[in-house]
Amino acid sequence: MNNLAKFTIGIFATLGVAWLAFVVGARSQYGDLEPTAQSLEEDGSIPADSELFPIALSGIAQQGSEEYAALGCVACHTQQVRRVETGFDVDRGWGKRPSVARDYVLQEHVLLGNSRIGPDLANLGLRNYSDEWLHQHLFEPQSIIPSSLCPPSPFLYDEIEEAADSDIVVNSDAGERFIRPSIRANRLVAYLQALKQDYELPEMSFIETEDVEADLDDTAEQTVVASNDAAPQWLQDQINAGKEVYMKAAVGGGMCFTCHQQNGEGLAGQFPPLAGSDWVLGDKSRLIKISMYGLMGEIEVNGVKYNNVMAPPGIPPGSLTDEQIANVLTYIRNDWGNSASAVSPDEVATVRASLKGRPPMQMFTNSELSPTEQ
Amino acid sequence: MSVDSPDKIIDRSAKLVFSFFLSSAGLWLLTAALFAYLAAAKLTDPFFLSTCEFLTYGKIKVAQANAFVYGWGGNAIFAVSIWILARLAQAEVRGSIFLVFAGIIWNLAITFGLLGILDGHMSGHEMLEMPTEVWPAMLISYLIITFLILVIHRSRQIKETIAPQWFILAAILWFPALFLIAWNGMELNPARGTLQTVLSMWYGQSLIWLWLTPVALGAAYYLIPAILGRTIDKYYLAIFGFWCIAALAPWSVVHHLEGGPVPMWIPAIGTVMSIAMVFPIAVASTNFHATAFLDIGKVWNSLPLRFVIFGTLSYTVSSYIGVIFSLPAVAKITQFTIINEFHFNQRVYGFFSMIIFGAVYYALPKISGREIPIAAKSFHFWTSTFGVLLLLLAYLIGGLTHGVLAGQPLLPWSSSVINSLQPYFLITKFAFVILAFSQLVFVVNVWRVIFPNPFACLLCKNEEVEA
């Protein structure tokens, strides 16, 4: 300890061993990973003519990753889906499978991040957001998700007074605003859309998400059967499929029961009932709209006032397909003593077409819906 | 003033360097406090300053960490290390002019580095965010300072070295090694894919464990016996504690990668070594607290020592909490939450900075011959203590809330999970305001001692020369 040279050698040796492991060792272990096919031949070779993954980012997306790094998005967003035993990421619908080292080998900036004030973005490109939605979100996140803490980035956009058709409309608190993305905003959106791990790799296949289905209690089961004794087979099928959506709390489900409860009674003062509800038994198009976009603000159901937020149903939010919406609405109109006409996927598609241009995730309010009241 | 004690001569030789590094450290401390407030304010109101591109949340957060670690931490390390090593070596500080010159380069490099971050040139790798253009300047200026610190140590009168010297010298020497490794792996010979993340995680966390931590521990090993006038209790354990930190800390820091896209052995080793860290933590806290509690009245009455003991208690508590949070079952909940902020602030504020404050309050009067008003010191202590505890509690409870809610896939992300953190964000904003006031009082008083009459500064220097 008294000889400076020996002391220095000692402290560098302890540091050096860790360096050998984490820097030199890790590099020799997987520093030369290359893209590969989704599955390999039995002898471990890549099948001929197979597409290799991961694919490199396009030029503009590559530039977008630089914008992403420069703006400091990594301070709040991770880009990694953790292994199932160490995290909830797959259950949350943030990826089809855990991320692996090979997913990142072609990226120049690896921005895994270690803080999640915002959601994980490793698979943002798989969540079916339009470019327009992402631009609106970058310009003013709160115009789409009112509770968001994400800071707006108006400096990436030009605000236009006289809007052309190609301009993007943002419904901010200050009214409608028209914006035109700068080249930097376009790069960023190209990058965000390119974030996807939608392929399997030899070392990692997609995870079958377990249905976190609520245990159906027997009485509820019996009422369905009893009240629909005479129902035709197609209707019964639709009701059963709808019930699955209602009860499923995993990717592709609606998880409706968490608020409206298994017995459709809701929770007094918080979540309105569906059983015997004038909304459920009433106008179909209103129900369809709510099933696509959610609902916020004060409403009155069976004469009782509620004031709460219903996020766009589905996991991830707003992801229910036309058929799922038709099924689940048919189900809630025909259980717990309800009996009303079925909803067909075509009806849903018609309503969806009529709402073309409405930003995804933008919840409806009562006033928007009331003109169509029956 | 005819015959000065050797300590007085040493203090006088350290005066210029100590004053320079301390006053720069103070400015960086205030810069970091400002950034910390801005970042906290942005979390409570996303529209706050949102039109200004230079001040996005991500940039400010990073600028704050860099200003704190390299600006405040670096300068404070130089000031405190040089003085303690000179005192222990009973050797005068030589080459002051080169130390100040290197210090100016260091500070300029960090200034440009932070401007680079705000201007959008950051890399996104933990603690390596400053643009690579400033790295050479940082390394060269650091090496000059290291060389001159080693010169002080080499000219020591007593050949035997003691614990404060091991810890401080090791920290001084580890930094350039870590920096070179990171530079090589990121720039000169860049690694592909997640190897970058492994390296930057290892570097960023090691910086705290192998640079800030040992200096603070070394300062505590020096100050506690010096102020209490008694030897460290169970001192024979200190050498074991030192080598445990040297051997285990560089391994333990990677446990934060748990579950990520890296080979599983990396976080696994990190976890095992984190658990093994209970030994050095136990040694340091035994040494410090067994000594301090023999004479707790004196600790309470001496303000510098109160700061130091707050820091060592904080070190003990935070390190044990860190061990618990590295267990995979707990990490599953706390990973990626604002618990990260708890760890960072606990370590750099609750532990490192508090001990540095203590060291400054002990050294500054001896070096400058002027006392800081006791009321100001006391105000600084109580506001710092209150602010830090408030901040850490908010991050701790908020982090657990964050983790537990995030773990329920049914809860929508921003409207439920993140919205329930709002109260904690508000508390942290409030805590950062308190801390900013506290630091302002500290810095103003330090500056007033160093520059009692700023307009007659030149005259002061002349008088010194004559004396």
Nearest CA in chain B to A150: B46
Nearest CA in chain B to A317: B412
pLDDT at B463 over 80: no
Reported as type and span, the H/E element at residue A308 is: strand A304-310
Mean pLDDT for all residues in chain B: 91
Question: Which of B467, B331, B442 is CA-nearest to residue B4?
Answer: B467
Reported as type and span, the H/E element at residue A71 is: helix A59-71
Nearest CA in chain B to A81: B260
Q: Which residues of B touch A28 (CB under 8 A)?
A: none
In this structure, the strands spanning A295-301 and A175-181 are unpaired
Strands of A364-365's sheet, edge to edge? A304-310, A295-301, A364-365
Q: Decide if B43 and A150 are in contact by the 8 Å CB cutoff.
A: no
pLDDT at A223 over 80: no
Distance CA A154, CA A168 (A): 13
Q: Which residues of B touch A103 (CB under 8 A)?
A: 261
Dihedral sign from CA coordinates of B75, B81, B86, B87: positive
Nearest CA in chain A to B267: A22
- The b/e string for B379-391 (b: 16+ C-beta within 10 A; e otherwise) is bbbebbbebbebb
Across A199-213, A287-301, B26-40, B238-252, least confident range: A199-213
The pLDDT confidence band at residue A216, using thresholds 50, 70 and 90, is: very low
Residue A230: the pLDDT is: 54
Distance CA B317, CA B328 (A): 20
Query: Which superfamily is assigned to A59-194 in CATH?
Result: Cytochrome c-like domain (1.10.760.10)
CA distance A122 to chain B (A): 11
Task: State the average pLDDT over residues B427-447.
Answer: 94
Q: Which residues of A touch B152 (CB under 8 A)?
A: none
Cis before residue A316, ω within 30 degrees of 0?
A: yes
φ and ψ at B240, to 5 degrees? Answer: -65, -45
The pLDDT confidence band at residue B461, using thresholds 50, 70 and 90, is: low
Chain A contacts in chain B segment 358-387 (CB below 8 A): none
Q: Name residues whose C-beta falls within 8 Å of residue B116's C-beta, 6 or more positions apart in sequence.
A: B122, B130, B131, B133, B134
**The residue to which tokens 């991050």 are assigned:** B395
Quote the tokens at residue B111.
Answer: 């200034």
Q: Which residues of B touch A68 (CB under 8 A)?
A: 124
Nearest CA in chain A to B412: A311
Q: Which fold has domain B6-466?
A: Cytochrome C Oxidase; Chain A (1.20.210)
Nearest CA in chain A to B63: A72
Residue A349: the pLDDT is: 85
Q: Which residues of A touch B266 (CB under 8 A)?
A: 22, 26
Assess B329–A contact: CB distance below 8 Å, yes or no: no
Q: Decide if B121 and A70 are in contact by the 8 Å CB cutoff.
A: yes
**The residue to which tokens 């605003």 are assigned:** A177
Q: Which residues of A touch B269 (CB under 8 A)?
A: 21
Chain A contacts in chain B segment 436-455 (CB below 8 A): none
Q: Decide if A309 and B415 are in contact by the 8 Å CB cutoff.
A: yes
The pLDDT confidence band at residue B290, using thresholds 50, 70 and 90, is: very high
Q: Decide if A22 and B337 are in contact by the 8 Å CB cutoff.
A: no
pLDDT at A310 over 70: yes
pLDDT at A60 over 90: yes
Dihedral sign from CA coordinates of A279, A280, A284, A289: positive
The pLDDT confidence band at residue A364, using thresholds 50, 70 and 90, is: confident
Distance CA A22, CA B210 (A): 16
Give yes or no for a contact between B207 and B69, defined as CB atoms under 8 angstroms apart. Answer: yes
Encode pLDDT of A165-208 as tens digits. Answer: 778 888 877 778 889 999 999 999 999 999 999 999 988 888 87
Distance CA A300, CA A312 (A): 19
CA distances from B260 to A9, A23, A83, A169, B395 (A): 34, 17, 7, 38, 23
Across A192-196, B14-18, B326-330, least confident range: B326-330
Q: Which residues of A touch B174 (CB under 8 A)?
A: 11, 15
CA distance B126 to chain A (A): 9
Nearest CA in chain A to B338: A115
Quote the tokens at residue A37.
Answer: 């096919």
Task: State the average pLDDT over residues A10-15.
Answer: 94
Give yes or no for a contact between B395 and B424, defined as CB atoms under 8 angstroms apart. Answer: yes
Residue of B56, B274, B422 for testing the chain A interface, max A β-carbons within 10 Å: B56
Encode pLDDT of B384-408 as tens digits. Answer: 999 999 999 999 999 999 999 998 8
Residue B466: the pLDDT is: 46
Q: Which of B177, B197, B259 sits opposite A12 (nearest CB)?
A: B177
Distance CA A302, CA A1 (A): 82
CA distance B371 to chain A (A): 36
Which amino acid is present at A68? Y
Which amino acid is present at A180? R
φ and ψ at A262, to 5 degrees? Answer: -65, -30
Chain A contacts in chain B segment 13-32 (CB below 8 A): none
Phi-psi region for residue B294, left (φ > 0), alpha (ψ -120 to 50) or beta?
Answer: alpha
pLDDT at B255 over 80: yes
φ and ψ at A297, to 5 degrees? Answer: 95, -175
pTM of the model: 0.80
Quote the percentage of chain B above a pLDDT of 90. 71
Distance CA B263, CA B267 (A): 8
Across A136-145, A265-274, B18-27, least confident range: A265-274
DSSP lists the bridge partners of residue A301 as: A304
Residue B31: the pLDDT is: 96
Distance CA A43, CA A22 (A): 31
Distance CA A3, CA A226 (A): 90
Residue A139: the pLDDT is: 92
Give yes or no for a contact between B395 and B428, defined as CB atoms under 8 angstroms apart. Answer: yes
Residue of B192, B327, B334 for testing the chain A interface, max A β-carbons within 10 Å: B192
Distance CA B123, CA B426 (A): 29
Q: Which of B51, B121, B259 sits opposite A82 (nearest CB)?
A: B259
**The residue to which tokens 């009433």 are assigned:** A282
Q: Which residues of B touch A159 (CB under 8 A)?
A: none
- The more confidently predicted of residues A296 and A97 is A97
Give yes or no for a contact between B332 and B285, defined as CB atoms under 8 angstroms apart. Answer: no
Quote the percentage of chain B above a pLDDT of 70. 96
- The more confidently predicted of residues B268 and B456 is B268
Task: State the average pLDDT over residues B232-246.
Answer: 93
Distance CA A145, CA B418 (A): 12
CB pairs under 8 A between A and B: 222
Q: Which residues of B touch A148 (CB under 8 A)?
A: 46, 414
Distance CA B256, CA B261 (A): 12
The pLDDT confidence band at residue A217, using thresholds 50, 70 and 90, is: very low
pLDDT at A210 over 80: no
Quote the tokens at residue B429.
Answer: 């904003």
Residue A371: the pLDDT is: 54
In this structure, the strands spanning A175-181 and A157-160 are antiparallel
Residue of B415, B424, B425, B426 for testing the chain A interface, max A β-carbons within 10 Å: B415
Assess B173–A contact: CB distance below 8 Å, yes or no: yes
Q: Decide if A33 and B332 are in contact by the 8 Å CB cutoff.
A: no
Q: Decide if B210 and A15 are in contact by the 8 Å CB cutoff.
A: yes
What is the domain partition of chain A in residue ranges?
59-194, 218-372
> Which pairs count as long-range contacts for B425-429, CB under 8 Å and 24+ apart, including other chains?
B425/B40, B425/B43, B425/B44, B425/B398, B426/B44, B427/B390, B427/B391, B427/B393, B427/B394, B427/B398, B428/B40, B428/B43, B428/B341, B428/B391, B428/B394, B428/B395, B428/B398, B429/B37, B429/B40, B429/B41, B429/B43, B429/B44
Q: Which residues of B touch A25 (CB under 8 A)?
A: none
Angle at which helix A345-354 crosses helix A322-332, to 10 degrees, equals: 120
Which amino acid is present at B353? S
* Angle (nearest 5°) at CA B337 between B186 and B34: 75
Assess B136–A contact: CB distance below 8 Å, yes or no: no
Q: Which of B46, B250, B406 sits opposite A152 (nearest CB)?
A: B46
Residue A222: the pLDDT is: 37
Q: Which residues of A touch B406 (CB under 8 A)?
A: 88, 92, 116
Residue B458: the pLDDT is: 57
CA distances from B382 to A192, B388, B439 (A): 47, 10, 11
Encode pLDDT of B140-199 as tens digits. Answer: 999 999 999 999 999 998 889 999 999 999 999 999 999 999 999 888 888 888 999 999
Q: Decide if B193 and A145 are in contact by the 8 Å CB cutoff.
A: no
Indicate the burial class of B200 (C-beta count within 10 angstroms; 0-12, 13-18, 19 or more). Answer: buried
CA distances from B68 to A170, A293, A366, B177 (A): 38, 45, 50, 21
Query: Which superfamily is assigned to A218-372 in CATH?
Result: Cytochrome c-like domain (1.10.760.10)
Encode pLDDT of B69-125 as tens digits. Answer: 999 999 999 999 999 999 999 999 999 999 999 999 999 999 999 999 999 888 778
In this structure, the strands spanning A168-172 and A175-181 are antiparallel
Distance CA B245, CA A14 (A): 9
Encode pLDDT of A136-157 as tens digits. Answer: 999 999 888 888 899 999 999 9
pLDDT at B130 over 90: yes
Q: Which residues of A touch B47 (CB under 8 A)?
A: 142, 151-152
Task: State the average pLDDT over residues A27-53.
Answer: 87
Mean pLDDT for all residues in chain A: 84
Chain A contacts in chain B segment 51-110 (CB below 8 A): 51-53, 56-62
Reported as type and span, the H/E element at residue A169 is: strand A168-172
Q: Decide if B166 and A105 are in contact by the 8 Å CB cutoff.
A: no
Cis before residue B365, ω within 30 degrees of 0?
A: no
Which amino acid is present at A337? G
Q: What SS3 state is found at B235? A: helix
Residue A45: the pLDDT is: 84
* Angle (nearest 5°) at CA A100 between A94 and A105: 115
What is the domain partition of chain B in residue ranges?
6-466
Nearest CA in chain B to A27: B195
Reported as type and span, the H/E element at residue B363 is: helix B354-368
